[in-house]
């Protein structure tokens, strides 16, 4: 990529704001990728604290166990890029608060855990913010081949990353595959923000 093309992309991404719902294996890794890619601002939401069991795949460190994920992730992201603007919400995202928290975002990442919660978050975002691009994930577990992980367009403003089939209940969450899906999500966000909506 030529320096001018890189500058143009960075310039466009610097003016964008991306929301991330859930800061686990997907959300914490999507966050650092978007920060390194040059996204100007992130809105981060998660009600939980860092646990020792998260460290096998999530972007936290041993000395952060017990901290709110929002605070721990913010500290780590600011070590990469002190100029990134962060808005932190230590809450569970619901139909009541989604528009207030993420209404100003250019794209939203769904990165929650339980299948019921995923369905509810996708539905909630689609209803409250139907024109805001939403990049969701499903099928991140197991040790299946990397090329089964894909990005597909589910709806007018909804993209889905993952193998779509392998659930975390009954399959291991293995760092490289979780990070692979996170990378699909981060790239989908970047492409959508740059006006390339097709996967």
Closest CA to 197 of 149, 189, 130, 161: 189
13 or 140: CB nearest another protein: 140
Quick check: 56 binds another protein (CB under 8 A)? no
**Site string (106-135) toward another protein, x via CB under 8 A:** -----xxxxxx-xxx-xx--xx--x-----
Quick check: 48 binds another protein (CB under 8 A)? no
Measured from the Cβ of residue 43, the count of other Cβ atoms closer than 10 Å reads: 20
Count the site residues for another protein by CB under 8 A.
40
Whole-number Å distance between alpha carbons of 59 and 115: 22
Q: Which stretch binds another protein (CB under 8 A): 20-28, 31-39, 48-56, 188-196?
A: 20-28
Quick check: 53 binds another protein (CB under 8 A)? no
- Binding another protein (rule: CB under 8 A), the pick from 16, 138, 186, 187 is 138
Q: Which residues make Cβ contacts (< 8 Å) with residue 137, sequence separation at least 6?
A: 26, 110, 111, 160, 161, 162, 181, 182, 184, 185
Alpha helical stretches, state H, the chain: 3-14, 27-37, 69-80, 98-102, 115-128, 175-193
Q: For the CB of residue 3, give the shortest distance to another protein in the complex, in Å.
A: 37
Quick check: 73 binds another protein (CB under 8 A)? no
Quick check: 29 binds another protein (CB under 8 A)? no
- Binding another protein (rule: CB under 8 A), the pick from 34, 72, 74, 140 is 140
Quick check: 40 binds another protein (CB under 8 A)? no
3-class DSSP state for residue 19?
strand
Quick check: 169 binds another protein (CB under 8 A)? yes
> 125, exposed or middle or buried, with CB in 10 Å at 0-12, 13-18, 19+?
buried
**Site residues (vs another protein, CB under 8 A):** 22, 24-27, 111-116, 118-120, 122-123, 126-127, 130, 136-141, 154-158, 160, 162, 164-169, 173, 178
């Amino acid at each position: 990529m030529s320096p001018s093309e890189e500058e143009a992309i960075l310039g466009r991404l610097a003016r964008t704001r991306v929301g991330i719902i859930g800061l686990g294996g997907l959300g914490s890794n999507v966050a650092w990728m978007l920060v390194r890619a040059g996204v100007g601002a992130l809105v981060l939401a998660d009600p939980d604290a860092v646990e020792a069991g998260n460290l096998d795949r999530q972007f936290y460190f041993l000395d952060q166990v017990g901290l709110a994920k929002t605070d721990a992730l913010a500290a780590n992201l600011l070590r990469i890029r002190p100029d990134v603007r962060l808005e932190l919400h230590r809450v569970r995202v619901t139909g009541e608060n989604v528009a207030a928290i993420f209404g100003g975002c250019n794209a939203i990442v769904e990165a929650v855990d339980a299948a019921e919660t995923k369905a509810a978050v996708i539905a909630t975002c689609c209803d409250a913010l139907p024109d805001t691009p939403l990049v969701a994930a499903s099928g991140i577990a197991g040790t299946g081949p990397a090329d089964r992980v894909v990005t597909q367009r589910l709806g007018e403003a909804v993209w889905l990353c993952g193998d779509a089939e392998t659930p975390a209940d009954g399959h291991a969450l293995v760092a490289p595959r979780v990070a692979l899906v996170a990378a699909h999500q981060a790239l989908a966000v970047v492409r959508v923000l740059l006006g390339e909506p097709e996967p």
